[in-house]
Amino acid sequence: MFKALRYFLTISLFGLVWAQQPRPLVLWHGLGDSANAPGILRFVEEIKSVHPGIFVHSIYLEEDIDKDRQAGFYGNVNEQVQFVSEQLAAIPELEGGFDAIGFSQGGQFLRAYVERYNSPPVNNLITFGSQHMGVSDIPTCGPRDFMCQIARRAVKAGVYSSWAQEHLVTAQYFRDPANLEGYYSSNKFLTSINNEILESRNETYARNLASLNKLVLIMFTEDKTVVPKESSWFGSEVVVDDISLTDDHQRVLADTRIPVSMYEQPLYQEDWIGLRELDERGDVVFGVCESVHMDIEDCWEAFVREYAGGDL
């Protein structure tokens, strides 16, 4: 009798411990960073202090830290997402699913993983300052960031050339509202994950994105790096002709950019990617960090506590 009771208590306690095991977390860093950069490693330790016992995997494209950083500037994003899908599928701790955090461009790359692969599946996807509807300007670079400067000049020189669309990462989510025809005809990444091309629209993308428990979209209110910053909330811009008069009554034709919210996007209205289904279910969360791009010091913890590390 006592042996049976002891066995029952042991099994019960084991089940309690198992039930309290936090769900694993996957991170995808942003442009100019790497999987094992000091800032990422420090963030991992802070997450572990919030969720003791959590397993955290930081996605890498190259094991060498310098090459991994370079891969954020140069590479084929479709191939990179496929590589990451194989990387995640090979990690035993992730077999039962995981939460995910994408920093800047890492956010739309993780969304691509969800839509195209999602095996193992993502539970909650949190994106900080990501460019879900692309960017209409190339981010500026630090004065000593020569790799970034070279990539920026190359993108601006021919963003919709076949070479740029195959090899320059930022070009593959550059969506110029003044040249949408060039974007639709040349882009093979953002047009794909946003299901913008009717002939190649993939219903699996919508099913997979709608399978998320929560999609948490965080925008930086003072963001000058992501243009427009509302891309973090699936916002974009359209260009309209604006005719004005100068002081000497000359007519001037200028392009004016008008913001388009998530709710006004055909992508949302026709539910090309499952975003509307998620939103109408109440599972799209709009968050803000009141700071410049990727300054998360005062705002990350509340999101990580609520949307990461839940019980398996």
Please state whether beta strands 251-260 and 56-58 pair in parallel, antiparallel, or not at all (unpaired).
Answer: unpaired
Output 30 or 247, whichever has higher pLDDT.
30
Q: Exposure pattern of 159-192 as b/e (b: 16+ CB <10 Å)?
A: bbbeebbbbbbbbbbbbbbebeeebeebbebbbb
Tell me the CATH number for domain 56-89+96-307.
3.40.50.1820
Residue 140 confidence (pLDDT) above 70: no
* For range 105-131, the mean pLDDT: 98
Check: CB of residue 35 under 8 Å from CB of residue 60.
yes
* For range 282-297, the mean pLDDT: 97
Domains of the chain by residue range? 56-89+96-307
Check: CB of residue 134 under 8 Å from CB of residue 58.
no
Among 34, 104, 186, 231, the active-site one is 104
Among 51, 57, 132, 293, the active-site one is 293
* For range 10-14, the mean pLDDT: 46
pLDDT tens figures, 29-50: 999 999 999 999 999 999 999 9
With cut-offs at 50, 70 and 90, classify the pLDDT of residue 311: confident
Distance CA 49, CA 121 (A): 25
Beta bridge partners of 240: 256
Active site residue 200: no
Output 75 or 247, whichever has higher pLDDT.
75
Output 174 or 19, whichever has higher pLDDT.
174
Residues 6+ apart with CB under 8 A from 90: none
Output 248 or 136, whichever has higher pLDDT.
136
Q: Exposure pattern of 228-237 as b/e (b: 16+ CB <10 Å)?
A: bbbbbbbbbb
N residues, the chain: 312
Active site residue 66: no
* For range 6-27, the mean pLDDT: 64
Active site residue 293: yes
With cut-offs at 50, 70 and 90, classify the pLDDT of residue 10: very low
Residue 51 confidence (pLDDT) above 70: yes
Give the whole-number percent of the chain exceeding pLDDT 70. Answer: 86
Residue 221 confidence (pLDDT) above 60: yes
With cut-offs at 50, 70 and 90, classify the pLDDT of residue 249: low
Distance CA 131, CA 104 (A): 7
Cis omega (within 30 of 0) for bond into 120: yes
Check: CB of residue 86 under 8 Å from CB of residue 56.
no
Among 33, 99, 176, 223, the active-site one is 223
* For range 133-143, the mean pLDDT: 79
Torsion angle, CA of 83/84/86/92, rounded to 10 degrees? 160
Quick one: pLDDT at residue 257? 85
Quick one: pLDDT at residue 18? 47
Only one residue has tokens 């066995």, namely: 7
Residue 27 confidence (pLDDT) above 70: yes
* For range 285-302, the mean pLDDT: 96
